[in-house]
Amino acid sequence: MSKPFKPSVSLTDNDVTAQSVYLNRRQLLKTMGFLGASTLLAPSASASIWPWSDDKPHAKRTALSYSQPSQYQLADTKTPEQKVVSYNNFYEFGTSKDAPVENASTFKTNPWTLKIDGLVNKPIELDHDALTQRFPLEERIYRLRCVEAWSMVVPWIGFELASLLKLAEPLSSAKYVAFETLYDPEEMPGQKNRFVGGGIAYPYVEGLRLDEAMHPLTLMSVGLYGKTLPPQNGAPIRLVVPWKYGFKSIKSIVRIRLTNKQPPTTWNRLAANEYGFYANVNPKVAHPRWSQASERRITTGGLLAKNRIPTQMFNGYSEVASLYKDMNLTRFY
């Protein structure tokens, strides 16, 4: 999503050239069979090639206990875990899809402090263990639609942001919620070097209107596929707002602040004409440089899998429509 942005994945499913341009040399060699034996062992080599499979050691993840409420299970085919944890956007660790898994494996997420403050009666601090122990955890299988027109289906584990905000007791003057990612250039190479970090002014910040933040779909995620989050997916805690483009779902959060003014948000600050504050998934409102009418769903297929599907309004979460009933969603994109 750098500026100017070229979608890293071609809008044509079988545009091999664009993919080749995108892939770094090591990955390309691997794809072509010059590196690594794993692709040769795959049953149907060309269909199952996934150049983002990583051979680096992963950070240790802990099994979590959680319930599986039936209303948050989903018929959609889940994106395999290996893809969820190896194809990421996390510019603090580099701008290519494979940079986060490569550069975040040693990211220290313990100790950690998450602060909730601002316009609240009871400011809260959660330490590393409280993040997974303070609230009962649920598994929620959500669609994740990136503004770049690809999507995944991820079994997140977490708790409602509303539960956390209620504990803090927002004042009646609170209208918005501002979120902030960790700022630590020693740990995050993209914060240290603007060429690595895509020229973004860090820390990464995001925001929601208070009613969006209180919606039961809005999740604080601490895990996926049964275990704690890997660093590349936003450990130890990240936001997941399934009806909005993925960039709203801010990772590795250290602060949540209640405010009376709409807070600045990272991608809006970088290119306001391309990325709005609301960023609701909307097939009818095109990005200035590409259509949002359809998306490439990443499931079990290989790199060239033909998985283009129509994009749904609010990413299919029509229950949020009432939050925007008097708003022009073309103007407030």
Ligand X SMILES: Nc1nc2c(c(=O)[nH]1)N[C@H]1C(S)=C(S)[C@@H](COP(=O)(O)O)O[C@H]1N2
CA distances for 121 relative to 110, 178, 259, angstroms: 28, 17, 13
Residue 246 lies near Mo ion (rule: CB under 5 A):
yes
CA proximity to 93, closest of 221, 275, 234: 234
Q: Which of residues 239-268 bind ligand X (CB under 6 A)?
A: 246-247, 249-252
Residue sitting closest to ligand X (CB): 246
**Cβ contacts of 316 within 8 Å, gap of 6 or more:** 143
**Contact indicator for 236, 131 with CB cutoff of 8 Å:** yes
Choice between 223 and 234, CB closer to ligand X: 234
Q: Is 181 annotated as a binding residue?
A: yes
In terms of DSSP bridges, do strands 253-259 and 219-224 run parallel, antiparallel, or are they unpaired? unpaired
Select from ligand X, Mo ion, none the partner in contact with residue 240, using the beta carbon and a kind-dependent cut-off of 5 to 8 Å.
none
Choice between 19 and 89, CB closer to Mo ion: 89
Select from ligand X, Mo ion, none the partner in contact with residue 295, using the beta carbon and a kind-dependent cut-off of 5 to 8 Å.
none
- Write the single-letter amino acid at 78: K
CA quadruple 247, 253, 256, 261: dihedral sign: negative
Select from Mo ion, ligand X, none the partner in contact with residue 91, using the beta carbon and a kind-dependent cut-off of 5 to 8 Å.
ligand X
Residue 146 lies near Mo ion (rule: CB under 5 A):
yes
- Quote the least distance from Cβ 189 to ligand X, whole Å: 13
Choice between 112 and 247, CB closer to Mo ion: 247
Residue 181 lies near ligand X (rule: CB under 6 A):
yes
Alpha helices in 169-288 (DSSP H): 189-192, 210-213, 266-270
Select from ligand X, Mo ion, none the partner in contact with residue 90, using the beta carbon and a kind-dependent cut-off of 5 to 8 Å.
ligand X
Residue 91 lies near ligand X (rule: CB under 6 A):
yes
Residue 51 lies near ligand X (rule: CB under 6 A):
no
What tokens appear for 132 in the block? 């997974």
CA distances for 42 relative to 37, 39, 51, angstroms: 9, 5, 13
Residue 84 CA to residue 11 CA, distance in Å, equals: 20
In terms of DSSP bridges, do strands 124-127 and 113-118 run parallel, antiparallel, or are they unpaired? antiparallel
Q: Which residues participate in the annotated binding site for Mo-molybdopterin?
A: 88, 91-92, 146, 181, 233, 238, 249-251
Binding site for ligand X (CB under 6 A): 1, 88-92, 144, 146, 181, 204, 233-234, 246-247, 249-252
Residue ranges for the known binding site are 88, 91-92, 146, 181, 233, 238, 249-251
